[in-house]
Structure 1
């Protein structure tokens, strides 16, 4: 019995270091402290290589007068900020900027509205129908941009397009042989349908995933108060998922604003350059007009606009966090 008491006393006795002090803490080596930085080093290096170096070269190019003559003679003509001054002083640049903003706003509104409706539909469907709809959304989302654009070119073809044929069969005979790329409004309509079709799956799937995190008790309480579907969305879903809506809207603004392939492939910014957005405008001025310095300056200004939008978004997020506190 006494032996057991002594063993228990030994086990419960505080372990101390030399001289009765606390036990020494294990020393953290320099390698352990630098491990997180070493893990992210490849990603940082790749980002700097692919983005930083490209941005630097593009920035230097925007300060030059570079065209065919300079390329053939291997001459570098530094012009300072003349390209920026000419661009900012051009009425065409501001017209394209305003057009890009309106185009982006219209697309983002449609994407968020249809994406939210589809996401809420996913949350209410049964398992089999939900899986079927998810499969269709994933396939639409995973289709390469060039392939999707080619399909839409076939659909809206003037002579053999399915859209014109269906509208003609439905009694709208004026659409027989209609040229969808013959005017600014019709060309933008085709591009908008294409971009919205490609972007809705991202919003819908993410919204459905986000709704699964909302406690069901909130919806039950709202139902007891007599709230319908619309009232439940405005009083439960939207307030709970407000950060999701802010982040998704911000991402869609960036993706639509910088969209190039869809706009260029449908009609190359035509007719008469009336459907050019800033990325297409920069390409046409740089590659089409063989004024590479001007094209680089326009692309830098496009990035500045996106940075301004990013700053505005971060301001909204910080303000929201302050209000919650």
Structure 2
């Protein structure tokens, strides 16, 4: 016993690991700290190769005067910031930018509103009805964008479209052969319905999943205090799910703002280029007019504008969180 006491006294501060086990060696500790970085390395490398290099090449192209003549002659003509000054000095660019912002705001409001209502409905339905509605939402969400756009083109077709047939049957005979892509507002209406239909399942399913994390005791306490459904939503559901609303709105702003396939496939930005958003405008100027440098510059400006919008939104979110603290 005295020998053991002397041994402990020789080492007055023995190192004890977690749970009484000996602590890990320094080399093993450093190795374990590097494991998470090794795990994300493949994804980071793929992102850099697929997105980073493409962005760099597009940025280099935006400083060039690249037309079919330069492509045929294999000549690189650097023109500095001429493509950017030309785009920023164009009234068409700012008109399309304002249109894109309004289009994004309208779609995001409709998506979040409809998605939240359906998500709350899922939380109140029985098991069978919830499963049926969830299956329909998943099928709508999983449909490829091009396929969904083609279906909506058939639905809103001028001569044999289902929408025109139903409206005619309900008494609106002037809609029998209505051309939905003949005007700016009607074309945007079709595109908006398509984008909202594709985006609502994401919001609804995620909202329902988030509602399952709310303790039921909070609703019981609210009901005992005499709170109705609306009061329970404003005092329990919304405050608890506020981070979800903020994050989902942020994702929807990005997704809607960069939508290209739906806008271009419905009417290629027509009629008279009145439904072009920034991604479609960049494509038409670059590929359609074969001024590839100008198209690249517009795409870079689109990214900058999207970053500015998201930065402003994140600033509002952070400011609101600071006020709550």
Q: If the TM-score is normalised by the length of the shorter chain, which range does it land in? A: over 0.9
Provide structure 1 residue ranges, at least 5 long, that are not aligned to the other structure. 1-5
1:86 and 2:86 are equivalent in the alignment? yes
Report how far residue 16 of structure 1 moved. 6.4
The list of structure 1 runs, each at least 4 consecutive aligned residues, that deviate by more than 4 angstroms after superposition, is 13-18
1:17, distance to aligned residue in structure 2 (A): 7.4
CA gap of 1:17–1:183, structure 2 versus 1, over 3 A, is: farther
Question: Counterpart of 1:138?
Answer: 138
Matched residue, 1:294: 294
Q: Does 1:156 align with 2:160?
A: no
**Matching residue within 13, 20, 25 for 1:27:** 25
Taking the TM superposition and a 5 Å limit, the aligned residue runs for 1:213-292 are 213-292=213-292
Distance 1:127 1:16 in 2: 66
State which drifts further: 211-220 or 268-277.
211-220
- In the alignment, which residue of structure 1 is the partner of 2:124? 124
Distance 1:76 1:120, change over 3 A: same
Please, what TM-score do these two structures have when normalized by structure 1? Answer: 0.93
- Relative to structure 1, the CA distance from residue 321 to residue 15 in structure 2 (aligned partners, 3 Å threshold; closer, same or farther) is farther
Distance change in 2, residues 1:177/1:14 (3 Å): farther
Residue 322 (structure 2) pairs with residue 322 (structure 1): yes
Q: Residues of 1 paired with 2:9 and 2:24: CA distance?
A: 15
1:62-211 equivalent positions in 2, closer than 5 A:
62-211=62-211
TM-score normalised by length of structure 2: 0.93
Q: Give the 3-state SS of the residue equivalent to 1:78 in structure 2.
A: coil
Between 1:206-215 and 1:13-22, the stretch displaced more is 13-22
**TM-align CA RMSD:** 2.0
Local SS of the residue matching 2:213: coil
Name the residue aligned to 1:57.
57
Cα distance in 2, alignment partners of residues 14 and 41 from structure 1: 50
Deviation at 1:313, TM superposition (A): 2.8
CA distance in 2, matches of 1:33, 1:122: 42
Aligned partners of 1:313 and 1:105: how far apart in 2? 12
Q: Give the stretch that moved more between structures: 172-181 or 30-39.
A: 30-39
Per-residue deviation, 1:15: 11
Spell out, residue by residue over 1:292-318, the C-alpha distance to the aligned partner (whole angstroms, 9 max, x if none). Answer: 000001100110011112212332332
Q: How many Å apart are 1:217 and its aligned residue?
A: 1.6
Structure 1 window deviating more from structure 2 (150-159 vs 217-226): it is 217-226
Query: Which residue does 1:3 correspond to in 2?
Result: none
Task: Output the CA distance in 1 between the equivalents of 2:259 and 2:288.
Answer: 18
Alignment length, in residue pairs? 316
The 1:240/1:15 distance shift into structure 2, 3 A limit, reads farther
Cα distance between partner residues in 2 of 1:178 and 1:307 = 39
1:209/1:71 CA distance change after superposition, 3 Å: same
- Structure 1 position 18, deviation (Å): 9.7
